[in-house]
Every structure is written in structure tokens, then in C-alpha cells.
């Protein structure tokens, strides 16, 4: 019996389960996205909580962008199927993978599935490096029976792999540095706002406001309350300015009375008669 051991039987059961579950899950994802798109619930909080991973980093303005993560799943399923089913036919295996890679590049250029520019550039770099890798790998198959430049092709193949690793590592490091910078910047801005708020509160306690300013501040507060009730902002502004001018006039009249009273109190009296300026 070909599958006589327990491990072979378990592997066969797991493989059959994956072959059944994977297409079914892809169909469910497509139906969920299609329904949410028709009902315009792609940005809803409940939908993002349950299925936000399907819309992570994609451009929702295009149809290809909406279903891009589902297409990536289909692509990986096809890639695994090609690698496993055609493991004894290297030439056809590489050709089919190359066709699938070119189809991905075409959809990326035509559909613009990525929302951010740096993610789109990195995806282009990865796909082009995969194309170069497959072309070089094809040169190492039986089609190159004369074994021309075999060592040079192998060196270029390893260089392509190294370049892919370096590019993705640099991109990941850049993303981490950017995330740390944004967090530090956010903390600094919060601390500055907190210090500024404390300073303003201390200034308000040590330096009380003058009467005209407090009156104008009170009028502005009334303006905001009346604006909530439905009054027009222009009418409120004109009325507050007129009230402010009236208050200034009253303050100036009071100050003039105080000055006149001070002058009259400074007149000297001799023998019960005040000394007037004209005597």
C-alpha cells in the first residue's frame, strides 16, 4: 500500500481538507466584499472590526484594489499547486510561474491596488526581481544543454535573492523607524500642549483680567451660547461690539468723575474758605 503509515494518512487528510477549505474561504471573502461594496459599508466600524484584514493597505477606489488581497490568496494557491503538481517538469513549472508573475504585474499597473505610494513601489520591485529570478532559473534547466555561463548565471541568481532580501529588509527597517518617529513626535507634542495649558492656567490665576476684557470675554461666551441656540454669528458679533463700546463709555465717565472728585478734594481751605485758582 502506498499510504501505509499513519503519517502519510494524516498528511493526506490535511491536504484534502486544505483543498476543500481554501476555495470555500475565498468564495466567502468575495461574497462579503461584494455585499459590503453594494451596501456601502466598507468604511463601517463593524465591517472593519470583522473583515479589516481584507482591506489592509488597498485602494478602495478601484475594483482590483478592493479584491486585491483575495487575488493574492488565489495566486499563492496556484503557485503552490504549480510547484507541487509540476515538480517533475521544471520547464513548464517555471513558465507557468512566470506567466502568473506577469499577470500580477499587469494588474498592479492597471488597477493600482495599493493606497500608499511606497507600498506600490516596493511591490513593483519585488515582482520585477521575481521575474528576473525566474528567467535566470529557466536558464539553468535542460534547455541550456550546453551549460553555457552556468556559473555566472548561478551567481546572478544568488545576487537576485540577496538584492530581494536587502530591499525588503531596508523597507521594513524604514517602516519601523518611521513608526517610532511618529510616536516620539506625538508624545513631544502632547507634553508641549500640557505645559502650555499649565502655563496659561497659572497666568490666569496670578494675573486677573480687567473689567473690559472680562466683559468682552463674557460677551463672547454669550455669543457662543446663543450661536448654539440658532442666532446668526454676524448679528451676535455686531451686538457684542456695541455692548463692548457702551461699557467702555461707562468706564470712561466713571473715571472722569473720579478725577474731578480728586481735584476738588485737593483744594486748600484757609479760614473756612477754599482757595480757588483765580484768587
Query: Of all helices (H) and strands (E), which one includes residue 195?
Result: helix 150-206
pLDDT confidence of residue 207: 53
More confident residue, 269 or 240: 240
Alpha-carbon distance of 241 to 112, in angstroms, equals: 55
Alpha-carbon distance of 152 to 136, in angstroms, equals: 10
pTM for this predicted structure: 0.61
Alpha-carbon distance of 131 to 127, in angstroms, equals: 6
Three-state secondary-structure class, residue 278:
coil
Segment 133-161, tens digit of pLDDT: 998 888 887 776 667 788 888 899 899 99
Domain residue spans in the chain?
212-249
Residue with cell 491536504: 15
According to DSSP, the residues that pair with 269 across neighbouring strands are 274
Three-state secondary-structure class, residue 58:
strand
Torsion, Cα of 62, 66, 72, 73 (10° steps): -150
Does residue 243 carry a pLDDT above 50?
yes
What number is the average pLDDT over the span 73-96?
87
Alpha-carbon distance of 213 to 203, in angstroms, equals: 15
Segment 172-182, tens digit of pLDDT: 998 899 889 88
Cβ atoms of residues 116 and 57 within 8 Å:
yes
Segment 35-69, tens digit of pLDDT: 888 888 888 888 888 778 888 888 888 888 888 98
Query: Which among 202, 199, 201 is positioned nearest to 191, based on CA atoms?
Result: 199
Reading the block at residue 29, the C-alpha cell is 471573502
Three-state secondary-structure class, residue 269:
strand
pLDDT confidence of residue 97: 92
Query: Which among 68, 32, 70 is positioned nearest to 50, based on CA atoms?
Result: 32
Does residue 162 carry a pLDDT above 90?
yes
Does residue 194 carry a pLDDT above 50?
yes
Segment 208-233, tens digit of pLDDT: 544 444 444 454 545 555 554 554 45
Q: Tally the C-alpha atoms within 13 A of residue 75's C-alpha that lie toward its C-beta.
A: 17
pLDDT confidence of residue 133: 92
Three-state secondary-structure class, residue 262:
helix
Segment 249-276, tens digit of pLDDT: 776 666 666 555 555 544 444 444 544 4
Alpha-carbon distance of 58 to 50, in angstroms, equals: 16
Alpha-carbon distance of 114 to 89, in angstroms, equals: 35
Task: Let me know if 120 is exposed, middle or buried by CB neighbors in 10 A (0-12, 13-18, 19+).
Answer: middle
Spacing of C-alpha 4 from chain mean position: 54
pLDDT confidence of residue 132: 92
- Phi–psi pair at 270, nearest 5 degrees: -125, 130
What secondary structure does DSSP assign to 202-240, as a single string?
HHHHHSPPPHHHHHHHHHHHHHHHHHHHT--HHHHHHHH
Query: Which among 70, 61, 172, 46 is positioned nearest to 114, based on CA atoms?
Result: 61
pLDDT confidence of residue 173: 92
Alpha-carbon distance of 99 to 113, in angstroms, equals: 19
Amino acid at each position: 500500500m502506498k499510504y501505509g503509515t499513519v503519517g502519510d494518512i494524516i498528511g493526506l487528510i490535511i491536504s484534502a481538507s486544505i483543498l476543500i477549505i481554501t476555495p470555500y474561504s475565498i468564495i466567502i471573502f468575495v461574497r462579503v466584499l461584494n455585499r459590503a461594496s453594494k451596501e456601502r459599508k466598507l468604511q463601517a466600524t463593524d465591517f472593519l472590526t470583522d473583515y479589516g484584514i481584507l482591506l489592509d493597505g488597498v485602494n478602495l477606489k478601484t475594483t482590483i484594489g478592493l479584491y486585491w488581497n483575495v487575488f493574492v490568496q488565489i495566486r499563492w494557491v496556484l503557485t503552490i499547486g504549480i510547484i507541487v503538481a509540476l515538480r517533475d517538469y521544471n520547464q513548464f513549472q517555471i513558465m507557468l510561474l512566470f506567466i502568473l508573475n506577469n499577470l500580477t504585474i499587469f494588474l498592479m499597473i492597471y488597477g493600482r491596488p495599493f493606497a500608499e505610494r511606497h507600498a506600490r513601489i516596493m511591490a513593483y520591485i519585488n515582482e520585477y526581481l521575481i521575474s528576473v529570478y525566474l528567467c535566470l532559473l529557466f536558464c539553468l534547466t535542460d534547455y541550456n544543454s550546453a551549460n553555457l555561463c552556468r556559473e555566472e548565471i548561478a551567481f546572478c541568481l544568488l545576487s537576485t535573492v540577496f538584492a530581494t532580501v536587502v530591499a525588503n529588509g531596508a523597507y521594513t527597517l524604514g517602516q519601523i523607524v518611521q513608526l517610532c518617529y511618529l510616536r516620539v513626535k506625538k508624545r513631544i507634542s502632547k507634553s508641549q500642549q500640557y505645559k502650555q495649558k499649565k502655563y496659561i492656567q497659572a497666568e490666569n490665576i496670578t494675573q486677573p483680567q480687567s473689567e473690559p476684557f472680562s466683559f468682552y470675554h463674557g460677551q463672547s461666551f454669550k455669543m457662543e451660547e446663543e450661536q448654539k441656540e440658532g442666532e446668526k454669528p454676524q448679528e451676535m458679533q455686531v451686538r457684542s461690539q456695541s455692548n463692548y463700546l457702551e461699557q467702555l463709555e461707562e468706564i470712561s465717565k466713571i473715571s472722569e468723575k473720579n478725577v474731578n472728585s480728586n481735584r476738588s478734594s485737593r483744594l486748600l481751605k484757609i479760614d473756612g474758605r477754599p482757595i480757588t485758582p483765580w484768587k
